[in-house]
Amino acid sequence: MSKHLVIVESPAKAKTINKFIGKDYVVKASVGHVRDLPKSELGVDEESFEPKYEVLEGKEKVVSELRAAAKNADTIYIASDPDREGEAIGWHVMNLLGGDAKKKVRRILFHEITKNAVRKAIEQPGEIDMNKVNAQQARRVLDRLVGYKLSPLLWDKVRRGLSAGRVQSVAMKMIVDREDEIKAFVPEEYWSFAARLSGNTPPPFTAKLSKVDGKKADVPNEAQARAIEAALKSGQFVVAEIARKEKKQSAAPPFITSTLQRTAYNRFKYPVKRTMQIAQKLYEGKELGTFGFAGLITYMRTDSVRISDDALGEVRRYIGTKYGDDILPEKPNVYRVKKAAQAQEAHEAIRPTSMELEPEKVKDFLTREEYNLYKMIWDRFVASQMKPALFDVTDVDIANGNLTLRASGEVQKFAGFLAVFQDAPAEDDDEDAEKKNDKALPPMNEGDVLELLDLETKQNFTQPPPRYTEATLVKALEENGIGRPSTYGSILTTIQARDYTYKHDGKFHPTHLGALVVKLLKQSFGDIIDESYTARLEEELDEIEDGKLEWTAAMREFSGKFNKDLARAGKEMTQVKGTGLETEEKCENCGSPMVIKFGRFGEFLACSNYPECKTTKEMAKGDAAEATSDDEQVICDKCGKPMQLKRSRFGQFFACTGYPDCKNTKDPKLMKQAANLPTEPQPPCENCGKEMVLKSGRYGPFYSCSGYPDCKTIRKIGRKGTPPKPTGVKCPSCNEGELVERISRRGVFYSCNRYPKCEFTLNNRPVARECPKCHAPYLLEKETKREGHIEYCNNPECDYRAPIAPPAAANE
């Protein structure tokens, strides 16, 4: 029987597809790219821009297996991913298969890995899209020209081993520019006023000063603030104007790659790279019990918000059945495609592959991260085809002499899509947080006189722009047209791996090396690392993909300008190598200025009088920088000597200068955590009576017996810095531990103190009281709206349930 060969990128994808097609098909994986430009040379002809490709190291066996399988196949279906990178992989595979095999190659595309999608693709094969291939080749050649020509220049001027990337350098510039803005920022003082008022009927409400003499309120100093405060307290509050309107909030479109990355970060703090890894698994398929093996989402690298007609019909039927027709719009919601996504209009947005695969039905077959991401994709897709949410909004202007205050109230009258999905607010979205505090206003009429209950006069200072998080940097890259969503993960990884930036408290900080490299690149290659220029290059790549621009012509234009800049930079770029960057700090041994130098393990301070003086110092960053400052010395708590910042393969730490007599060390991260922990002394070890000391583990700080290793007692600490509180109830699961109160980001819960050996947990508070009905050793307490405070038995066969006094009253 004849055989057909299907070639995909990943073994996991091959495994899934193999379950969908018959015995006449053999499925093989290329395991990603099979050939690329050589590592040891430029690999690009600088006249014709013809790339020189070679089989990647370690891929020889894969190529041999594909060639062997191709010889026996009647038809070869290239089924690599449906984007530029996938098209290029398919083209490289086709060329490596050889002359006769190339004639048998057909290209098949599917945006979801389901039985119907795969079979339909095989029934409608096409050809390799050379426009897509050329767009990918153009990007690869651009990156190679910049990387292989610019990096040696940095080796010569700064330090050997540095590298510069075309897109990564722009992202790094954005981080450095933001840091410069923060340093240059001068806070401005302003005062705000919030009056707590009551009308003829409850509830009381808050109104804020909005205008002075009919103009926007601007109170820059305390003198003016106290004058306004006195006027507000002595004057009369009269309702001047009431404006009522209906506000409509429409649903957001289904996810594209960038919005998925940003929302996953804001909601779950998943790094961009991790989000794409999870999405890849959902796309490639999972074993789903009675549903069989199937892909759960469509292709996750897309700029398009388009939805297929079949998917629209399916989701509308689902909404009508589950939520009712009143939440379903008469016509499907259609979302505008961005200009950058028009080249990918054949793509769809990221959506579930089938409305039968509800998150709760497949939850048991997914990891926690996979379930979180899948449910988020599901909810956003369903919500995107629902009616808008409706709000009654009331704005009340209240006059007090020449001062005007405004109170705003917002009441939801129709949930619409918000019944299913609400975006997680970004960390720096103060406006969103403020909206959540809006409450309903009492009935009022124009001319009503209001009573002042309280007046808050507050001094404020303007804040600098926030540093980028992964979510906000992705948003900025997207808004500036830099890179594409499929590249964002590698961009963020690269700028950290090269020691150009580091993350602290989830925010990007440039290192001195990163700031220096950006400064040098700005001086000599200002246009190449300019956001608008880089965005224009991305547009040219799109034009190549559309067949509107010859890719070698774009390379020729870029190369001509780049080579001129490169020649000038070789002569004019500042030489830092060997000399370092001057600082104001003086050497503690000889008094010479200290300079910042860049070694293989990062940046450090060194005496400028080298080699006569070889003094060096570690430079604090992150937690170490927060734990100390220039005028604050960390002192050893065991011998009283100063501690010095050092580095190991695990990161920075403080070590006693009294070494080897004193070997005390301190973890900067633990020092920061300790500042937020209770200051009360810990009770001695319950097993041996020795002192309990604070330590740090992979899951955070904890208290450990000082008698370790003879005594291995530990006390865990909750997420909020609170040690677990004992309840006095013996664990009913293991009969060895005790149930303790812990705090997670979802609130209070109760678990065995032997975790992770025992994973027993309760949501409600256990109390050491015997059940009067079945004599179980403990009861549970909780509060309900209908019954108030109650106690009940946790034994499923016992129905004991009785009211009790609230905890505050019970303790009186």
Q: Compute the distance between CA of residue 421 and CA of residue 375 in angstroms, rounded to an integer.
A: 10
Phi-psi domain of 573 (left: phi exceeds 0; alpha: psi -120 through 50; beta: other): beta
Side-chain-side CA neighbours of residue 289 (13 Å): 8
**What are the contacts of 787-792 at 24+ separation with CB within 8 A?**
791/767
Q: Compute the distance between CA of residue 554 and CA of residue 627 in angstroms, rounded to an integer.
A: 51
H-helix or E-strand containing 134? helix 130-157
What single-letter DSSP state applies at residue 9?
S
H-helix or E-strand containing 695? strand 692-697
**Burial level of 798, CB count in 10 A (0-12/13-18/19+)?**
middle
**Which tokens go with 374?**
């899948």
Instruction: Tell me if 692 sits within 8 A of 703, measured CB to CB.
Output: yes
Strands (E), 136-250: 189-198, 205-212, 215-216, 237-249
Give alpha helix (H) positions in 309-388.
309-323, 359-362, 368-383
Instruction: Tell me if 217 sits within 8 A of 400, measured CB to CB.
Output: no
H-helix or E-strand containing 492? helix 485-497
Side-chain-side CA neighbours of residue 118 (13 Å): 26
Strand partners, 703: 694, 715
Instruction: Tell me if 99 sits within 8 A of 76, measured CB to CB.
Output: no
Among 94, 141, 127, which Cα is nearest to 551's?
141
Q: Compute the distance between CA of residue 618 and CA of residue 603 in angstroms, rounded to an integer.
A: 8
**Which tokens go with 327?**
């939440």
443 C-beta neighbours (distance < 10 Å), count: 8
Known catalytic residues are 299
**Residue 779 — φ and ψ, nearest 5°?**
-120, 165
Instruction: Tell me if 155 sits within 8 A of 161, measured CB to CB.
Output: yes
270 C-beta neighbours (distance < 10 Å), count: 22
Instruction: Tell me if 105 sits within 8 A of 96, measured CB to CB.
Output: no
> What DSSP string runs through 259-304?
HHHHHHHHHH---HHHHHHHHHHHHH-EE-GGG-EE--B--S----
